[in-house]
């Protein structure tokens, strides 16, 4: 496996082929925890670590290249998928200094017993000379935690970008020109939608700040390293940043006795009649992880749920809570669903849409028990209206 980013700059992380869950994110293709070793003429730095259970693998990778000579342990981000191995690494290389911002030190100290750690605090723009390899540190708040920073290796044009530009993607390949690019871009979009979307503005600010650097390699903390397709991922980030709507409508629903399913299918028929691309998801068979990237670049979405126990279906409540937290911007839509004796589900879903500032093109469309021809026609009409509006996007 090729792990070299540049002479004396190596990937030393861990490929997690089996992980399938990352704080509610379904990581169906696994992940990697990327750590990097930079060996200068006078000093060696390890940039980030891995999840705690894989500390031994990381330490073995480092020792294979540098023996016990590690002078600096850079911590770009205190989240435990990257900092979890720090206690073991500090123990393995006790003379090394932990290089981080004051905010990161505070976060590390709240996670671990750092009483024996030797900290070297750095500020925005500060440099660290390793001898022919110069590290420079840039704060990138909320990408993806308040304390996050990126590290720039000037001589080799490598940006260690932390979570930004990452993917939860396990692969034997380390670089974009060695991997299946379609899969990588699918996972990069999924990663952005699930992890970064809420922080789109801080990400854009970080891109603006770092965009002037002569970047040859972007080395994120998860997944594939970008070196041949950097314009592709930068262009994608600029689109995703604004949740840019495309000519697409998404219909997603929960159903109990198929009444709401029939309404959802009628909405989809209406969209289809306009020629607008659409996707139809029954949440019983769709994860939130897969749903949110579809909503991110849709023009609008319609949400169907029956009423259960005077509220909406629990699966729909979970999905809407997840979507509301990530706040896809600039969408339009409406809600619909069946009920038995009190109509509550579609109305409750509509409140979620209001909180997300979705422009609702209709009050909730509801029906008692089974949909009538008239209700199905109404669903088709609203689907058609959504499709026609989405097609107006240039
Ligand atoms: Fe991959 Fe925010 O940690």
Residue 82 annotated in active site: no
What is the chain's mean pLDDT, rounded? 96
Long-range contact pairs involving 130-134 (C-beta distance under 8 Å, separation at least 24) = 130/38, 130/39, 130/40, 130/41, 130/42, 130/43, 130/44, 130/45, 130/71, 130/72, 131/40, 131/41, 131/42, 131/43, 132/40, 132/41, 133/8, 133/9, 133/38, 133/39, 133/40, 133/41
Residue 158 alpha carbon to ligand 1 centre in Å:
19
pTM value is: 0.94
Q: How many CB atoms lie within 10 A of CB 165?
A: 27
Residues 6+ apart with CB under 8 A from 234: 207, 211
Provide the pLDDT confidence category of residue 208 given band limits of 50, 70 and 90.
confident
What confidence score (pLDDT) does residue 209 get? 85
What mean pLDDT comes out for the span 121-136?
Answer: 98
- Of the residues 25, 54, 176, 222, only one is catalytic, namely 222
What confidence score (pLDDT) does residue 201 get? 83
Taking the C-alpha atoms of residue 206 and residue 212, their distance in angstroms, rounded to an integer, is 11
Higher pLDDT, 144 or 355: 355
Say what percent of the chain tops pLDDT 70: 100
Query: Percent helix, strand, coil in the chain (nearest 5)?
Result: 40, 25, 40
Residue 163 alpha carbon to ligand 1 centre in Å:
5
Residue pLDDT, tens place only, 12-65: 999 999 999 999 999 999 999 999 999 999 999 999 999 999 999 999 999 999
Q: Output b/e per residue, 219-256; b: 16+ Cβ within 10 A.
A: bbbbbbbbbebbeebeebbeebbebebebbbbbbbbbb
Residues 6+ apart with CB under 8 A from 24: 288, 289, 322
In the predicted structure, residue 243 carries a pLDDT above the cut 80:
no
Distances (CA, A) of 336 to 60, 370, 371, 390: 56, 13, 11, 19
In the predicted structure, residue 90 carries a pLDDT above the cut 90:
yes
Residue 191 annotated in active site: yes
What mean pLDDT comes out for the span 305-309?
Answer: 97
What mean pLDDT comes out for the span 305-332?
Answer: 96
Residue 24 alpha carbon to ligand 1 centre in Å:
13
Residue 79 annotated in active site: yes
> DSSP code of 224?
P
> DSSP code of 297?
T
Residue pLDDT, tens place only, 330-350: 999 999 999 999 999 999 999
Residue 16 annotated in active site: no
Which H or E element spans position 4?
A: strand 4-6
What confidence score (pLDDT) does residue 206 get? 85
Provide the pLDDT confidence category of residue 210 given band limits of 50, 70 and 90.
confident
Taking the C-alpha atoms of residue 37 and residue 67, their distance in angstroms, rounded to an integer, is 12
What confidence score (pLDDT) does residue 370 get? 98
What confidence score (pLDDT) does residue 223 get? 98
Higher pLDDT, 6 or 203: 6
Residue nearest to atom 3 of ligand 1 (CA): 79
Q: How many residues does the chain have?
A: 394
What confidence score (pLDDT) does residue 36 get? 98
What mean pLDDT comes out for the span 223-244?
Answer: 91
CA dihedral 104, 110, 111, 117 (to 10 degrees): 70
In the predicted structure, residue 207 carries a pLDDT above the cut 90:
no
In the predicted structure, residue 354 carries a pLDDT above the cut 90:
yes
In the predicted structure, residue 112 carries a pLDDT above the cut 80:
yes
Distance of CA 339 to the CA centre of its chain: 36
What confidence score (pLDDT) does residue 72 get? 98
In the predicted structure, residue 225 carries a pLDDT above the cut 80:
yes
In the predicted structure, residue 212 carries a pLDDT above the cut 80:
yes
Query: Which amino acids bring their CB within 6 angstroms of ligand 1?
Result: 77, 79, 81-82, 144-145, 163, 221-222
Residues 6+ apart with CB under 8 A from 129: 40, 42, 43
Taking the C-alpha atoms of residue 358 and residue 124, their distance in angstroms, rounded to an integer, is 38
Residue nearest to atom 1 of ligand 1 (CA): 163
Taking the C-alpha atoms of residue 293 and residue 281, their distance in angstroms, rounded to an integer, is 13
Residue pLDDT, tens place only, 142-167: 888 899 999 999 999 999 999 999 99
Taking the C-alpha atoms of residue 20 and residue 18, their distance in angstroms, rounded to an integer, is 6
């Amino acid at each position: 496996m090729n792990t070299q980013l540049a002479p004396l700059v190596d990937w030393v992380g861990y490929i997690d082929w089996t992980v399938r869950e990352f704080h509610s994110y379904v990581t169906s293709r696994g992940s990697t925890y990327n750590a990097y070793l930079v060996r200068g003429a006078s000093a060696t730095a390890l940039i980030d670590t891995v999840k705690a259970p894989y500390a031994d693998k990381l330490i073995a990778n480092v020792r294979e290249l540098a023996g016990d000579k590690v002078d600096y342990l850079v911590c770009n981000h205190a989240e435990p998928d990257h900092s979890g191995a720090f206690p073991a690494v500090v123990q393995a290389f006790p003379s090394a200094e932990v290089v981080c911002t004051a905010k990161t030190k505070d976060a590390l100290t709240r996670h671990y017993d750092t009483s024996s750690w030797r900290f070297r605090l750095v500020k925005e723009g500060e440099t660290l000379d390793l001898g022919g390899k110069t590290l420079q540190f840039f704060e990138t708040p909320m990408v993806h935690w308040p304390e996050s920073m990126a590290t720039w290796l000037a001589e080799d044009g490598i940006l260690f970008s932390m979570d930004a530009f990452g993917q939860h993607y396990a692969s034997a390949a380390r670089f974009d020109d060695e991997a299946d690019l379609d899969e990588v871009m699918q996972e990069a979009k999924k990663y952005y939608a699930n992890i970064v979307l809420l922080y789109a503005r801080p990400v854009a600010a970080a891109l603006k700040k770092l965009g002037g650097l002569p970047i040859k390699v972007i080395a994120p903390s998860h997944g594939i390293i970008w070196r041949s397709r950097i314009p592709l991922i930068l262009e994608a980030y600029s689109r995703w940043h604004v949740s840019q709507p495309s000519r697409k409508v998404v219909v997603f629903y929960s159903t109990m006795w198929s009444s709401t399913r029939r309404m959802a299918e009628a909405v989809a028929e209406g969209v289809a009649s306009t020629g607008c691309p659409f996707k139809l998801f029954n949440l019983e068979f769709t994860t939130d992880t897969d749903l949110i990237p579809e909503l991110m670049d849709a023009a609008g979405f319609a949400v169907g749920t029956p009423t259960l126990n005077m509220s909406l279906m629990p699966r729909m409540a979970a999905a809407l809570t997840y979507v509301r937290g990530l706040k896809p911007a600039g969408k339009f839509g409406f809600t619909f669903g069946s009920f038995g004796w009190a109509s509550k589900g579609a109305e409750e879903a509509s409140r979620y849409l209001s909180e997300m500032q979705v422009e609702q093109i209709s009050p909730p469309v509801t029906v008692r028990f089974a949909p009538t021809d008239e209700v199905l026609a109404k669903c088709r009409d609203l689907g058609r209206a959504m499709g026609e509006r989405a097609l107006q996007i240039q």
